[in-house]
Copies of this chain bind each other. A is one copy, B any other.
Amino acid sequence: MKNYSEVYEQELINNVIPFWMKHSKDELGGGYFNCLDRFGNVFDTDKFMWLQAREVWTFATLYHEQEARSEWLEMARHGADFLAKHGRDAEGNWYFSLDQYGKPLVQPYNIFSDCFASMAFAALYKADPQEKYAKIAKDTFYNILKRQNNPKGKYNKAYPGTRELKNFALPMILSNLALEMEHLLDKKTVDDLLKSVIHEVMDIFYQQDSGLILENVNLDGSFSDSFDGRLVNPGHTIEAMWFMMDLGLRLNDQKLIIKATEIALRTLDYGWDKEFGGIFYFMDIKKHPVQQLEWDQKLWWVHLEALVCMAKAYAFTGKNECREWFDKLHDYAWNHFRDAEHGEWFAYLNRRGEVLLPLKGGKWKCCFHVPRALFQVAKTLQQVAEPAS
């Protein structure tokens, strides 16, 4: 599938990365502009730590794994300097957002800011092995492990004891972060963490009866018949499944890869909108109305992560069904999300696949899912032969 590989690589190098190189650098305030309209104009100057960190990760990773272009490393360092200088409170927790010049706006209530910060500095250390980068990555990582059982801390609004749920997102992200951090951690820490997150994802959150993964379960893993407990986020599941496939490769565990492929295929079938195409954002496992008003929208990251997942599933298992899904997802994503006129990809489509918000970067979209997916697909499919026709 060299052809696909080349198409994805060209899109990454010639369309997507130039958009961010051109529009997102904030020379005045430091760091990156996250909020860019269709044309790349800055429409808001707030700095969201998730997104700043993710852009650092992207440029550092491309420099280290794609091509050692000095402007990419410089771009990564530019964001990292801003993060290192302004991103943390006195206890080392990462704020959620800062203003253009680095003054804190929103407190560190969200542990994923910390996850993406440690991922960013771990990647930057690979590209530029300065001890200060390793230290931030490690300090942040151990702080995450310390906070992981009560990630929201004092901002947690759940009353203790009535309905204690655990959420899928943290083990899911940790399953990716463990590999991203491996070069900075001792073997036992990595081995223990991998074992624990694989168990959480594949045994606790995965439901044998439905073949689906729930976003929230009771602490003992049982089903909670509540809005949170009934929630399925197909995009989350499918993204987590390619993290599992990477872990299967790393641990030489083909069974894990096969199981992850099965769950991803089941979830694609479940989450696919049979009327208008695309993957729903949120669903209720009992088919009740969900709380999320945006449930039927089609989001860029969901479809890009699904492309990565099916590329890997096909490369690692050779299953024809994965190839068919890849083709179907490719057609949907390239026809609906890609902006052929003004570069980069749209983020939010309505159920019918029409653009809902004409932005290229916003509070949640930045230089991350699109380039990471293009890079992952290109790399994965490089060595994969076309199926015999």
A316 at the interface (CB under 8 A from B): no
The answer to whether B288 and A297 have CB atoms under 8 Å apart is: no
The answer to whether B157 and A154 have CB atoms under 8 Å apart is: no
* Complex CA–CA separation, A329 to B225 (angstroms): 38
Q: Which of B107, B163, B227 contacts A44 (CB 8 A)?
A: B227
The answer to whether A362 and B291 have CB atoms under 8 Å apart is: yes
Q: Which residues of A pack against B, CB within 8 Å? A: 35, 37, 43-44, 46, 95-96, 99, 103-107, 109, 154-155, 157-159, 162-163, 225-227, 286, 288-291, 293-297, 348, 350-351, 356-359, 362-363
* Complex CA–CA separation, A295 to B157 (angstroms): 26
The answer to whether B159 and A104 have CB atoms under 8 Å apart is: yes
A157 contacts across to B, CB distance below 8 A? 96, 106-107, 109, 155
The answer to whether A162 and B359 have CB atoms under 8 Å apart is: no
A99 contacts across to B, CB distance below 8 A? 162-163
A163-B43 in contact given A289-B358, A293-B297 (Cβ < 8 Å): no
Nearest B residue (CB) for A230:
B44
Nearest B residue (CB) for A287:
B43
* Complex CA–CA separation, A295 to B359 (angstroms): 14
A293-B226 in contact given A159-B104, A350-B351 (Cβ < 8 Å): no
The answer to whether A43 and B288 have CB atoms under 8 Å apart is: yes
User: Could you say how many copies of this chain the assembly holds?
Assistant: 2
A35 contacts across to B, CB distance below 8 A? 288-289
Nearest B residue (CB) for A162:
B103
The answer to whether A357 and B43 have CB atoms under 8 Å apart is: no
Q: Which of B96, B296, B359 contacts A356 (CB 8 A)?
A: B296
Q: Which 5 A-B pairs have the closest CB atoms?
A: A293-B294, A104-B159, A289-B357, A43-B288, A289-B359
The answer to whether B288 and A37 have CB atoms under 8 Å apart is: yes
Nearest B residue (CB) for A225:
B44
In the complex, 9 of the A-B residue pairs with CB atoms within 8 angstroms, ordered by the A residue number, are A105-B158, A107-B158, A155-B157, A227-B363, A289-B357, A291-B362, A293-B294, A296-B350, A350-B350
* Complex CA–CA separation, A109 to B104 (angstroms): 22
Q: Which of B225, B226, B289, B359 contacts A37 (CB 8 A)?
A: B289
Nearest B residue (CB) for A354:
B351
Query: Smallest CB–CB gap between A337 and chain B, Å?
Result: 15
A294-B294 in contact given A95-B159, A350-B350 (Cβ < 8 Å): yes
Nearest B residue (CB) for A288:
B43
The answer to whether B359 and A226 have CB atoms under 8 Å apart is: no
A351 contacts across to B, CB distance below 8 A? 350
A46 contacts across to B, CB distance below 8 A? 226-227
Query: Smallest CB–CB gap between A99 and chain B, Å?
Result: 6
A96 contacts across to B, CB distance below 8 A? 157
* Complex CA–CA separation, A99 to B158 (angstroms): 12
* Complex CA–CA separation, A157 to B89 (angstroms): 13
* Known A44-B226, A44-B227, A105-B159; 18 more pairs at CB < 8 Å: A35-B288, A35-B289, A37-B288, A43-B286, A43-B289, A95-B159, A99-B163, A104-B162, A106-B157, A109-B157, A154-B154, A291-B362, A293-B293, A293-B297, A293-B348, A293-B356, A294-B294, A296-B350
* Complex CA–CA separation, A104 to B157 (angstroms): 11
Query: Smallest CB–CB gap between A369 and chain B, Å?
Result: 16
* Complex CA–CA separation, A356 to B292 (angstroms): 11
A43 contacts across to B, CB distance below 8 A? 286, 288-289
* Complex CA–CA separation, A289 to B347 (angstroms): 12
Query: Smallest CB–CB gap between A344 and chain B, Å?
Result: 14
